[in-house]
Amino acid sequence: MKLSLVISTTDAAFNSLAFKGDLVKGIELAKKIGYDGVEIAIRDPKLADVNLIKKVVLDFKIQVVAIGTGQAYLAEGLNLIDEDENIRKKAFERLIDHINFASIFGAKVIIGFIRGKKKNRDEKQVQKLFIEQIAKLADYAQLLSVQLVIEPLNRYEIDFLNTLDETYELVKVLNHDSVGILADTFHMNIEEPRIEESLEKVKDKLYHFHVADSNRWAPGAGHIDFGSIIRTLRKIGYNSFLSVECLPLPGGAEKAARLAYETLKNIILDFEKISKTLEQT
């Protein structure tokens, strides 16, 4: 498993980002700490300096793992299930831009906040609306070899798709190779009775993974058992990135990013040592 760090531009409306500011500095520092990749939260890809980002990731030999889309919802209200058809259309078009941007880097596109809120509407009607939108986006994404990952978010932040099980059932209905699940330890700590068992149930559709501790601080600053979670991920065959998405705590962005890296890297290395020992016996 490799580690990546979520970074964003200065206009980000979401506070749960260890690095929120200059993208170039964020990428540089992520590489300096030891991260293998970065996940970039971008409100509007058309405003991003693609050539600069391409140059920086090439210079630092670091991978762009995923593209976050939530800023489009938090800053502009764009979402896929809004009652206003015009807003849904704008959200769809923005996600097409995100897919185009992601295709340049071989990155995934995250469907988190941008899916929208149900707001007391009928669950089946909202699901139908969402599935129709995602199916079209997935067809387009597949043409560009881009995967869409739907992220369950906790009930205090959104009222649609809060658990891994709910999201898994919807993804099964979609039945599209380009659509999977993004699991996040912070949200799972609130919504899942037992994180490890929930992960095993969705193993065939687990495409991406976010990590933050129980308090949304850096891993290692709360009470989540990351050793048990990483053991489960290894067991179910998840070999992709663990992407750190946490508050710049404790001690600011750089300290938080370093603590997260050291905590997770040490656990990963310990498992690798155990595996090598078992292979030699």
Predicted TM-score (pTM) of this structure: 0.95
Q: Catalogue the E-assigned strands of 21-162.
A: 37-41, 63-68, 108-111, 148-150
Domain ranges of the chain: 2-279
pLDDT tens-place string over residues 142-174: 999 999 999 999 999 999 999 999 999 999 999
Q: Regarding the domain delimited by 2-279, which CATH topology (the fold level of the hierarchy) does it fall under?
A: TIM Barrel (3.20.20)
What DSSP designation does 42 have?
Answer: -
Cis check for the bond before 45: say yes or no (omega within 30 of 0). Answer: no
pLDDT at 14 over 60: no
What's the rounded Cα separation, in Å, for the pair 21 and 23? 6
- When the pLDDT of each residue in the chain is averaged and rounded to a whole number, the result is 94
Cβ atoms of 100 and 142 within 8 Å: the answer is no
User: CB-based contacts of 88: which residues, under 8 Å, 6+ apart?
Assistant: 79, 80, 81, 82, 129, 133
Single out the residue of 157, 227, 228 nearest to residue 194, CA to CA. Answer: 228
Q: Is the dihedral of CA 33, 39, 43, 45 positive or negative?
A: positive
Mean pLDDT across 111-119: 97
User: Which structure tokens are listed for 7?
Assistant: 């970074």
Mean pLDDT across 125-142: 97
- Catalytically active residues, by annotation: 151, 245
Lowest mean pLDDT among 20-24, 97-101, 182-186: 20-24
What pLDDT is stored for residue 24 in this prediction? 85
pLDDT at 23 over 60: yes
